[in-house]
Every structure is written in structure tokens, then in C-alpha cells.
Structure 1
């Protein structure tokens, strides 16, 4: 049985970019899960967030916000723009929280988020390898580095 047979048509586009070999049976990893992960950690300012988590949340926020606005303009109902505003206020705290966790992943305080250009550079930078003072490495949470930088088993 083909993996594509089990997915709704709308997910095929998303699934194609996540799974390079779509005919091989794998776990169904939908990139929308990164968005839901951030919403589940609504006001969690502790820990670290991977680049993928941060940017997928950013991408889906953009898609949802502009989607609502295009629908409002297309239907010529400016009242629907209020929904976009309510949504933006609703995801304000999770957006700040994932940004702070992203700063933690690169080894900086969450306050660096308020420095415009520098925070963008940090958000694009790869996170620190191994644990730092904000928690374990979100890419490899099981890998601990000893004093000389060798992974312990």
C-alpha cells in the first residue's frame, strides 16, 4: 500500500516536502505539528526551540493571517479582517515564547529578541550543540557531551 493513499489531498503537498521518498512507509510527519507544538507550549519561556520549530510556526502564522485577509478582500467583507486581528492577538504570546526559546537555543538570553536585526540573525543561526544553561539540545536530547566534547554513551 502506498503512503499517499492514506493522506488527504491537501496533505500531499506538505508531505512531499517533508518526506523525500514518498513511496517508502514512514511515520506520518506533517509539518503542521511544529505549529501545534508551539501552541501547546503557549506561555513556556523555558527551554530551547529548534530553527525548524521557530520557522514553521512563523510560516503557518503568515499563511493563516494572509489567508484570512485574502478571504476578507476576496469576499469584499472587511468585517472578516477582525478575525485576522483576533488571531494575531491570540498567537502573540506563543510567538514571543517560541522566539525566546529560539534565542536560548543559540545561547543568548530571551531579551535579545527585542534587538531587530540581530535577533533575525540569531533566529537563522544553528543552535548550540549539546546542552546549555537553558536545557538539552532539542536536536539531540539524548546526546550529552563530556568535558572534552566527546558524546557519552
Structure 2
């Protein structure tokens, strides 16, 4: 996007980026993420009209199917959606309803499923199968099994615990906080730019 008097850049649906001058704007200057319509002339954007004043995330939130977002493992979500609408919302709901006897149990089950679904979608955003979200479970189960069956082998239990920790850290840093694939992949369109591709 341009400064008050300088040139700017627009990303097209074709994946190309086009320079433009402020004099090419035909209505309100777009903010980063706004949809625009423009013509291409000599590799530059001309006759630029701002179509929407919403950022992609706000527009996406306004038209999102929330049931599908929280309960269906298909598709992709961005890391921002995961932390803002996924982790933050489910954590708050869990804290507010967890102390209510029957409702708390039901909500906990639904939130557990939602946590799994949202994790799968983050793996999808990176072009990986959702099955990768289970990577920490086998070493965790082996750690518990080792500690219960043979408590005298603390070295083995500690080694398995370190493997479990490494798997959890990989999921956190390699998936939950990492930017997803740009553009569409085999699991769906780019959640940050759903119209591209």
C-alpha cells in the first residue's frame, strides 16, 4: 500500500504484484488487505477502485460458518485465526463453563474435539496431513507405560519424556506459530487470501 504521496504495490488474483501511483486511485485509498479492482497497463496497476473496506480477516469472520470452523477437520485456517478464534475463544469458553457440573462436561468434550479439529486445520495450512497432529501421542504413551511398568528404569522414562517434549515443541513452533503455505494447496485455498488461485 502507498504512503500519502509515494507509490504502492497491489497483489493480483494471478499471484503477480503490480506497482501503482497514488494518482491511479479512483476512490478511497485502500488499506492493507482491502479488495480492489484495477486494470493492468505496461505491468502496472491503473484505474484502481477500492471494493471493500474490510481486511480479509474481518470479512472472513463476518461470513464464516462457525459450526464448520469449530467442528469440521476439513480445510485450512491461518495461525491468526487459530490463536484468535480458536485457542482464545475455546479457552475462555472452557474457563467460563468448566465449573458448571453437567454443562461443563459436555462443553469440555466439544472443546476437546474443537482443539483437535483446529490443530488439524493448522497442519493442513502447511500442506501436511492432519495425522501429523498425533506425533506426540506415541512417545507420551510410551513414557507413561515405562514409568508404570518399570519405575526402576528412570533413564528410559526420561529419554521418552524428552522425545515427547521435542515432538510437542515441533508441533508448537513448526505448526502453530509458523505461517502457512501461500496460495492454495491440496487442502483448500489460502485462508488469508481465499480468492487467489
TM-score (norm 2): 0.46
When residues 96 and 45 of structure 1 are mapped into structure 2, their CA distance, relative to the original with a 3 A threshold, is: same
Counterpart residue number, 2:189: 136
TM-score (norm 1): 0.57
> Which runs of 5 or more residues in structure 2 are unaligned?
1-52, 136-167
Counterpart residue number, 1:85: 105
Structure number having the greater strand percentage: 2
> Which runs of 5 or more residues in structure 1 are unaligned?
1-25, 73-79, 145-153
Counterpart residue number, 1:15: none
Q: 1:48 aligns with which of 68, 76, 84?
A: 76
Is structure 2 residue 169 aligned with structure 1 residue 117?
Answer: yes
The 8 Å contact of residues 97 and 107 in structure 2, kept in 1 or not, is answered as no
Aligned residues: 106
When residues 46 and 119 of structure 1 are mapped into structure 2, their CA distance, relative to the original with a 3 A threshold, is: same
Is structure 2 residue 118 aligned with structure 1 residue 98?
Answer: yes
Deviations 1:14-62 (A, max 9, x none): xxxxxxxxxxxx76x88xx58x744334542222111122112211111
Q: 1:60 aligns with which of 89, 92, 101?
A: 89
CA distance in 2, matches of 1:67, 1:41: 21
The 8 Å contact of residues 79 and 177 in structure 2, kept in 1 or not, is answered as yes
CA distance in 2, matches of 1:51, 1:106: 10
CA distance in 1, matches of 2:121, 2:73: 6
Matches within 5 A, 1:12-23: none
CA distance in 2, matches of 1:142, 1:108: 21
Structure number having the greater helix percentage: 1
Find runs of 4+ consecutive structure 1 residues off by over 6 angstroms: none
Counterpart residue number, 1:18: none
